[in-house]
Amino acid sequence: MPMGRFERNTNMTFLVTENLTKKYGKGEAEVTALDHVNLSVEKGEFLAVMGASGSGKSTLLNLLGGLDDPTEGKVLYDGKNLFDMDDAALSLFRLKTIGFVFQSYNLVAELSVRENILLPKDIAREKPDEGRLAEIVGILGLSDRLDHLPAQLSGGQQQRVAIARALINRPELLLCDEPTGNLDQQSGENVMQLLDMLNRDYGITVIMITHDSALAERAMRTVHIRDGRLLQS
């Protein structure tokens, strides 16, 4: 069963931000975490967002994923503003369209690998797709780990479980926040090869936050962010 390949079309804009701004606090304590960011991402692109700690890159990722609300501006997916949706519609959109991969894995310790991967299905109150599950764990090398708990896995294996969970609902977009940050060099390379493969062979759009220039070079395009502002592409 195919994972749902998307034909690569570099002339097809998928995601656009317009004057995206995020401020915290008020008055003299106000901090601008993101400052009028305008960004365009094509369907099937692998984009790296590179910046130092505190530059605003994680804030940008949270806004792109609808995990936080902007102070100003828009996030448009196929021309539709994410923040015009009500909470129920936004939650459903995230479940169906976006997969999240975090540095800290965010696995549920009490759940098995199988249960962690299928968690988005449980949240959506949908029946498990056993064919999809078998395909994903086969690709990610997790077929013999389904009954294990996260604590019984290496860091690299836990991150692969997190990627499998992100893929279970056939997302069009993967948002990855420092996905190799907690891994040793070899495990990190394995994760990067998986992201490359998912983008190249299945056409999944990938946006990856990183501070590592070597990782950024693996992407099709890199944008740099500093003090909340997009500097160059």
Beta bridge partners of 31: 24
Buried residues in 97-131 as b, exposed as e (16+ CB within 10 A): bbbbbbbebebeeeebbbbbbbebbeeeeeeebee
Q: pLDDT-based confidence at 168, cuts 50/70/90? A: very high
Fold of 13-232: Rossmann fold (3.40.50)
Q: CB of 19 within 8 A of CB of 72?
A: yes
pLDDT for the residue numbered 232: 65
pLDDT for the residue numbered 71: 96
**Is the pLDDT confidence value at 5 over 50?**
no
Eight-state DSSP code of residue 86: -
> Which has the closest alpha carbon to 153: 117, 178, 189?
117
Domain range summary for the chain, segments of one domain joined by +: 13-232
Taking residues 195-202, report their average pLDDT: 91
Taking residues 106-124, report their average pLDDT: 93
pLDDT for the residue numbered 28: 86
Q: pLDDT-based confidence at 8, cuts 50/70/90? A: very low
**Is the pLDDT confidence value at 7 over 80?**
no
Q: Which residue has the tokens 């570099």?
A: 10
Strands in 221-226's sheet, in edge-to-edge order, are 98-102, 173-177, 205-210, 46-50, 221-226, 229-232
- Read off the pTM: 0.89
Q: Which residue has the tokens 């946006």?
A: 207
63: Cβ contacts below 8 Å, ≥ 6 apart:
17, 20, 22, 34, 69, 70, 75
Q: CB of 38 within 8 A of CB of 230?
A: yes
**Is the pLDDT confidence value at 9 over 70?**
no
Lowest-confidence pick of 46-50, 61-65, 128-132, 218-222: 128-132
**Is the pLDDT confidence value at 10 over 50?**
no
